[in-house]
Structure 1
Amino acid sequence: MRAQRRSNTLLPREKMLSMGPSALTEPELLALLLRTGCQGMNVMELASHLLEQFDGLEKLLTTQHQHLMSVKGLGPAKATQLSATLELCRRVLREKVAKSDIITSPESTREYLQLHFQGLQREQFACLFLDTRHRVIALETLFQGTLNAATVHPREVVKQALALNAASLILCHNHPSGDPEPSQADIRITRKLKDALELVDIQVLDHMIVGQGEILSMAERGLV
């Protein structure tokens, strides 16, 4: 019985070695990251339990580190491993986006922004600053909290764009509610920022709103 249990525990690793990572299920891949189980659950049971608790891999891996620390069965070591995995994904996408033309690779940009904002409990406003070839210079969070005309200051956006020698930019922020539909405040802020940046010959290409599993482009709606 002990030998059989040990064989089952090692199965994901053996399966990866013989068939490659694409052959593994999500619970099996997660089990490899977790490495060990916890009291009352072996590693496969723990992996399946976590996926069920978080309603899938995306929500689990995009949950804030502080929240993961409080989840039964994880603890500091496992929570840190999962958070590190998410950060590696972010950095891979960041490198991919940084080397590409935003206009010709919009899906990479959307994936990167989704990872950047996913799991945040408060609204954050960021700018994706671009050079003359529409390549990423930087993604910087400039404001936090409920976004309105009082909290988003055009002069700060203009100042940072000039400091980075940006030729254009994409405005982006999240809606923690999960609904990416733009509010009237979002529309007003977009127009205000666009007008301010036009004075210094910097173009606003889009304003993207990140919801739960979805990103809305205000440019595609004709709102930029």
Structure 2
Amino acid sequence: MAAFGSIGSVMAAEPAALARVVDDPGLVDRLSAARAAVMEGLSEQVQQLRFDLGQLALQQWIIALFKGLRRERIHLALLDSDRRLICDEPLGDGGLRGVTGNLRRIVGRGIGVDAAAVVLMHNHPSGNVRPSAADIAETRRIGFLLGNLDLPLEDHLVVAGNAIFSMRGANLL
């Protein structure tokens, strides 16, 4: 725990990071399996809910997606017409500009599952939950393009630590 700072960070750590500080490969495997089980349980809960940030289970799931990451990650969630989660997946690591290269993937996945809306999420490992000017500009560009394809951008969430910033909630979309 000393290497990660908290039990939550240990559970969120990538297997390679755990293996660098834990001498027992079996323990690394068990911790990774426990994380996967917890994430699956949270995902099952979230699929029963409307995508509404007022829902504690949704907040916990979103924060858990990014917990312990030391690099930015961009994540996609696709919603049905009742605003329930159809599916989700990481789009890539790195800065927000990486989303641009994945716009075709967002559209393809959205159309492939007959999604009614898109939610983008990314983390700020710096701890600052406020979106940058580049985050806002890129989000507006993506929102405009998706809107023209009848696949609206429902929200873009920025996660830092245990905080979630909604660009929709801040009227930035």
Q: TM-score, normalised by structure 2?
A: 0.88
Name the structure where strand makes up a greater proportion of residues: 2
Structure 1 position 70 matched with structure 2 position 70: no
Q: 1:170 aligns with which of 98, 108, 119?
A: 119
CA distance in structure 2 between the aligned counterparts of 1:183 and 1:109, rounded to whole angstroms: 24
**What are the equivalent positions in structure 2 for 1:205-224 lying under 5 Å apart?**
205-224=154-173
- Structure 1 residues not aligned, in runs of 5+: 1-49
CA contact (8 A) 2:92 2:98 kept: no
Q: Hey, what does 1:17 align to over in structure 2?
A: none
Report the alpha carbon displacement of residue 56 of structure 1 after superposing the two structures with TM: 2.2
Distance 1:195 1:149, change over 3 A: farther
Q: Hey, what does 2:34 align to over in structure 1?
A: 85
Q: Hey, what does 1:188 align to over in structure 2?
A: 137
Report the alpha carbon displacement of residue 71 of structure 1 after superposing the two structures with TM: 1.4
1:53-77, CA deviations, whole angstroms, 9 ceiling, x for partnerless residues? Answer: 53322112111111111215x5211
Report the alpha carbon displacement of residue 97 of structure 1 after superposing the two structures with TM: 0.6
Distance 1:171 1:150, change over 3 A: closer
**What are the equivalent positions in structure 2 for 1:32-47 lying under 5 Å apart?**
none
Local SS of the residue matching 2:97 = coil
Letter in structure 2 aligned against 1:69: A
Letter in structure 2 aligned against 1:59: S
Structure (1 or 2) with the larger CA radius of gyration:
1
CA contact (8 A) 1:97 1:109 kept: yes
Report the alpha carbon displacement of residue 151 of structure 1 after superposing the two structures with TM: 4.1
- Which has the bigger relative contact order, CA under 8 A and spacing at least 6? 2
CA distance in structure 1 between the aligned counterparts of 2:98 and 2:34, rounded to whole angstroms: 36
Local SS of the residue matching 2:106 = helix
CA distance in structure 1 between the aligned counterparts of 2:131 and 2:34, rounded to whole angstroms: 31
CA distance in structure 1 between the aligned counterparts of 2:48 and 2:123, rounded to whole angstroms: 24
1:63-110, CA deviations, whole angstroms, 9 ceiling, x for partnerless residues? Answer: 1111111215x5211122112111111000000111221137632222
CA distance in structure 2 between the aligned counterparts of 1:221 and 1:87, rounded to whole angstroms: 32
CA distance in structure 1 between the aligned counterparts of 2:18 and 2:102, rounded to whole angstroms: 34
- Structure 2 residues not aligned, in runs of 5+: none
CA distance in structure 2 between the aligned counterparts of 1:110 and 1:221, rounded to whole angstroms: 17
Report the alpha carbon displacement of residue 179 of structure 1 after superposing the two structures with TM: 2.1
CA distance in structure 2 between the aligned counterparts of 1:175 and 1:147, rounded to whole angstroms: 10
CA distance in structure 2 between the aligned counterparts of 1:143 and 1:66, rounded to whole angstroms: 18
Letter in structure 2 aligned against 1:185: A
Residues paired across the two proteins, number = 173
CA distance in structure 2 between the aligned counterparts of 1:145 and 1:100, rounded to whole angstroms: 30
CA distance in structure 1 between the aligned counterparts of 2:108 and 2:50, rounded to whole angstroms: 24
Report the alpha carbon displacement of residue 125 of structure 1 after superposing the two structures with TM: 1.5
Q: TM-score, normalised by structure 1?
A: 0.70
CA contact (8 A) 2:53 2:59 kept: no
1:123-142, CA deviations, whole angstroms, 9 ceiling, x for partnerless residues? Answer: 22221100011111110222
